[in-house]
């Protein structure tokens, strides 16, 4: 049981940490604390992506396993004279999941609690009530009576706002509910891959990475990859779970608990065929479950990784997750553990000869 508790504590610490794009420091510190015992060296790039290096064989192929530190959230843009806060979404939000949700504003003086508000339906026309409230008409209420009072509490334009949610293990203990699974689960996978390789011989140099600013255009992946110059890149992220009411298999095929997703196609990348085949062959050989996924409406850090320098064979391995880009999402612990297992087994097999063969397939 001790190990179970350690894992859940790490997942809680990672998801509780606050970090929208451009404000990842708190998350970076948590990831650093957990990954440091298994790394030979920890550095950052100029934007703040965390890069933990573990040498298996000096001069061996460089393998990058990257999650992203940032979560979708909001940024304060203005305070009106009555003390209400105007805000900008940072990352992709659907207006229907935002109203009446509790948020935390992180200021230089500390944290301030707020709630996302709008005009009540009681004062709207019957016609207006039928339409979703637009994000531009929402505001954040922190209980301030004036601009001056809000400013006294430390609130200023540019401050980050994050969803408030408590990490929860569901009645089915494999089901975990938390904010920011997108993409603290990827950070956890990177940590656990290095942990499982701690006393293992492997024929390469592994980089466990927490990229910044994925949700606003895969930005940190570009700078971190440029710094590392990997031979092979894995982006570990969340994917869509297609097992809730109303979703057809045509829209999303994956089911929670049926294994990590191997993304063959998304809006940012066509998966590298040689690497994809190598990963799935390894999974088949070891009976590690996996699912194929295509996400034409979204991308991962692999989209930036594969276009850096001369090009990097890359693959996205994702965890089927319900309700992403909202206040709370749900995933299955088995998928997380099987993703770690699969990536570790693949890394053990990635010697120079194999990497060269994969690259030119």
What does the pLDDT look like over 328-352, one tens digit per residue? 999 999 999 999 999 999 999 999 9
Burial class (CB in 10 A: 0-12, 13-18, 19+), 129: exposed
**238-255 pLDDT per residue, tens:** 999 999 999 998 888 899
Task: Using alpha carbons, list the distances in angstroms from residue 211 to 41, 113, 127, 185, 244.
Answer: 16, 28, 45, 13, 30
150-171 pLDDT tens trace: 999 999 999 999 999 999 999 9
- Options 2.40.30.40, 1.10.260.40, 1.10.3720.10, 3.40.50.300; CATH of 74-163: 2.40.30.40
Determine the pLDDT at residue 296.
Answer: 85
In the predicted model, is pLDDT for residue 45 greater than 70? yes
Confidence of residue 2 (pLDDT cuts 50, 70, 90): very low
pLDDT at position 4, please?
54
* Res 5: pLDDT: 84
Contacts of 67 (CB under 8 A, 6+ apart): 183, 184, 185, 186, 187, 188, 189, 190, 209, 210, 211, 235, 236, 237
CB 329 within 8 A of CB 179: yes
Does the pLDDT at position 256 exceed 60? yes
Nearest to 358 by CA among 281, 249, 286, 287: 281
Per CATH, which fold does 2-71+179-359 belong to?
Answer: Aminopeptidase (3.40.630)
Residue spans of alpha helices (H) in 17-115? 25-35
- Calculate mean pLDDT across residues 218-235: 97
Question: Does position 3 have pLDDT exceeding 50, yes or no?
Answer: no
Confidence of residue 121 (pLDDT cuts 50, 70, 90): confident
Q: How far apart are CA 137 and CA 114, in angstroms?
A: 16
Nearest to 241 by CA among 269, 261, 262, 215: 261
Q: Are strands 85-90 and 73-79 parallel, antiparallel or unpaired?
A: antiparallel
* Average pLDDT of every residue of the chain: 96
What pLDDT does 1 receive? 32
pLDDT band at 295 (very low <50, low <70, confident <90, very high): confident
Active site residues: 214
| Lowest mean per-residue pLDDT among 84-88, 110-114, 122-126, 314-318 | 122-126
Gap between the Cα atoms of 25 and 196, Å rounded = 26
Confidence of residue 60 (pLDDT cuts 50, 70, 90): very high
User: Which burial class, exposed, middle or buried, applies to 320 when counting CB atoms under 10 A from its CB (0-12, 13-18, 19+)?
Assistant: buried
| 41 beta partners | 53
pLDDT value of position 297: 83
- pTM confidence score: 0.96
Per residue in 175-215, pLDDT (tens digit) is: 999 999 999 999 999 999 999 999 999 999 999 999 999 99
Q: How far is CA 150 from CA 36, 109, 154, 273, in A?
A: 39, 12, 7, 54
pLDDT for position 175: 98
Mean per-residue pLDDT, 130-147: 96
Task: Convert the pLDDT of each residue in 76-107 to its tens digit.
Answer: 999 999 999 999 999 999 999 999 999 999 99
Question: Would 2-71+179-359 and 74-163 be classified into the same CATH topology?
Answer: no
* Element of type H or E holding 359: helix 352-359
Domain ranges of the chain: 2-71+179-359, 74-163
């Amino acid at each position: 049981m001790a190990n179970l508790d350690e894992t859940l504590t790490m997942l809680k610490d990672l998801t509780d940490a606050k970090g929208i794009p451009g404000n990842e420091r708190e998350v970076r510190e948590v990831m650093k604390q957990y990954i440091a015992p298994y790394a030979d060296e920890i550095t950052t790039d100029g934007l703040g992506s965390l890069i933990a290096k573990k040498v298996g064989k000096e001069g061996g192929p460089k393998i990058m396993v990257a999650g992203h530190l940032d979560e979708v959230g909001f940024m304060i843009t203005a305070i009106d004279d009555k003390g209400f806060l105007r805000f900008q979404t940072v990352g992709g939000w659907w207006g229907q999941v935002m109203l009446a949700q509790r948020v935390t504003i992180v200021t230089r003086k500390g944290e301030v609690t707020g709630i996302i508000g709008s005009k009540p339906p009681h004062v709207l026309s019957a016609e207006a009530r039928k339409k979703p409230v637009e994000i531009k008409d929402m505001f954040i209420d922190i209980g301030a009576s004036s601009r001056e009072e809000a400013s006294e509490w430390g609130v200023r334009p540019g401050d980050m706002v994050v969803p408030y949610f408590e990490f929860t293990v569901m009645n089915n203990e494999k089901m975990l509910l938390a904010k920011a699974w997108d993409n603290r689960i990827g950070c956890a996978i990177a940590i656990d891959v290095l942990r499982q390789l701690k006393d293992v011989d492997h024929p390469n140099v592994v980089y466990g990475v927490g990229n910044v600013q994925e949700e606003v255009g895969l930005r940190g992946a570009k700078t971190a990859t440029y710094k590392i110059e990997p031979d092979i890149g894995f982006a570990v992220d969340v994917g869509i779970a297609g097992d809730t009411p109303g979703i057809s298999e045509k829209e999303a095929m994956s089911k929670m608990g049926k294994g990590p997703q191997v993304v063959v196609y998304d809006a940012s990348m066509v998966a590298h065929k040689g690497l994809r085949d190598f990963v799935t062959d390894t999974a088949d050989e070891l009976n590690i479950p996996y699912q194929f996924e295509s996400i034409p409406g979204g991308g991962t850090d692999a989209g930036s990784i594969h276009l850096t320098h001369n090009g990097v064979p890359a693959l996205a391995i994702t965890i089927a997750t319900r309700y992403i880009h909202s206040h709370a999402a749900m995933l299955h612990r088995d998928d997380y553990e099987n993703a770690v297992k699969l990536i570790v087994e693949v890394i053990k097999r990635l010697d120079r000869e194999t990497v060269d063969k994969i690259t030119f397939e």
